[in-house]
Structure 1
Amino acid sequence: MITVRDATEQDAAALMEIYNHAVLHTTAIWNEACVDVPNRITWLRDRQKAGFPVLVASRGDGTVVGYASFGPWRAFEGYRHTVEHSVYVHPAYQRQGIGHILLEALIAVARTKALHVMVAAIEAENTPSIVLHKKLGFEQTGVMKEVGTKFGRWLDLTFMTLALNADQPLG
């Protein structure tokens, strides 16, 4: 049984482990430096202070197996109704629907905050992530060629968007 809840500082070690695995072994994160527990605590506090969610998925025994969050799409006021999100699942628990559960929960939070669009920026060869986003209604809106690098190669970035509250008046 997987449950989704708000992250706490006690989850920082698990967040660090999941994040660092992605840094070291995947192109899901285009950073190359690992982080420590104090870094994840600061990141969590900053997200929460700014009003952004950090959700964790945990097993029945409390083991954190994934996390998701969103934050500003861009720093200009005109983008205040748009957010960019991230979802990461521990490698031992991938392909078990946990990313789907987390992303559904994150979308629900975004809708309650009256946000308008959620953006996904996905490494173009990350087919499982692209498929997941399509299943949840995201549309591919573009691909930027060779805008990043990791593991000695150029990476393309696929953008996908989801309209969250299409009937909501601008306010």
Structure 2
Amino acid sequence: MHAAVPFIESATPDDARPIAVIYAHHVAHGTATYDIEARSVLATAGLISEHRAKGWPFLVARGADGSLAGYAYASQFRPRAAYAWACEDSIYIDPTWQGRGIGRALLEALLVAAEAAGFRTMVAVIGGAEPASIALHARYGFAHAGRLDATGWKHGRWLDTVYMQRALGAGAASPPAE
């Protein structure tokens, strides 16, 4: 049994190995990601470094002993320039920490960090239409924005993708600072 997570902080490339382990578990056993091969430690370190270089949030939740309980990051929703103010969130929890509020803590911190990074809207792309992820996002003000039926094939079945969206800061009430 883990104690409560005492803090959330920015990830560093040194966190790549435990992050890659958490992600590999979700690739092998879950439907939240449609990846079928886990990301390497080197690729994970690159992802963290890319986020840091672009000023995008990449957060980790640590237990009192320093172990990684989970991680979350926000990336530009699509690569085209007009999407520069829209981000997509990703949240993954170590299976031994699931059900202990880590996802809530990470999403709360990610919302603040993504707004501080200049994003004006956050999109949740929920692979497998995971009920726990839908409930988490709804709890934090995300609204249903669409559903794509049978968009992924994993673990011998078709998976739906649910889109949810939430404004950050002023949202669409004013133009972004350029």
Partners of 1:35 and 1:74 in 2: CA distance: 20
Q: Which moved more, 1:100-109 or 1:48-57?
A: 48-57
In structure 2, the residue matched to 1:13 is 17
2:80 to 46, 56, 76: 76
CA-based RMSD of the aligned residues comes to 1.3
Q: Determine whether 1:166 maps to 2:170.
A: yes
More deviation, 159-168/68-77:
159-168
Query: 1:94 and 1:54 mapped to 2: Cα distance?
Result: 19
Which whole-Å deviations, capped at 9, do the CAs of 1:51-83 have from their partners, x for residues lacking one? 211100001110011000010111122211100
Secondary structure at the counterpart of residue 92 of structure 1: coil
Q: 1:47 to 1:61 in 2, by over 3 A?
A: same
**Structure 2 CA distance for partners of 1:155 and 1:38, relative to 1, 3 Å:** same
Q: Which amino acid is 2:175 matched to?
A: L
TM-score, structure 1 as length reference:
0.95
SS in 1 for 2:96: helix
The whole-number CA distance in structure 2 between the counterparts of 1:9 and 1:56 is: 11
Q: Which moved more, 1:99-108 or 1:73-82?
A: 73-82
Task: Check the 8 A contact 1:147/1:157 in 2, yes or no.
Answer: yes
Distance 1:34 1:112 in 2: 30
User: Aligned to 2:152, what secondary structure does the other structure show?
Assistant: strand
Helix, strand or coil for the counterpart of 2:148? Answer: strand
8 Å Cα contact 1:73/1:84 also seen in 2: yes
Name 1:101's counterpart in structure 2. 105
Q: Cα distance, 1:124 vs. partner?
A: 4.5
Q: 1:149 aligns with which of 135, 153, 172?
A: 153
CA shift, 1:20, in A, is 0.1
Which structure 1 residue ranges, 5 or more long, are not aligned? none
Contact 2:61 2:71 in 1 (8 A): yes
Name the CA distance, whole Å, in 2 between partners of 1:83 and 1:25: 26
Q: 2:133 aligns with which of 129, 132, 136?
A: 129
Deviations 1:22-48 (A, max 9, x none): 000000110001232222112211221
2:37 aligns with one of 33, 40, 48 = 33
The correspondence for 2:66, drawn from 41, 62, 85, is 62
Q: Normalized against structure 2, the TM-score is what? A: 0.91
Aligned residues: 171
Q: 1:116 deviation in Å?
A: 1.1
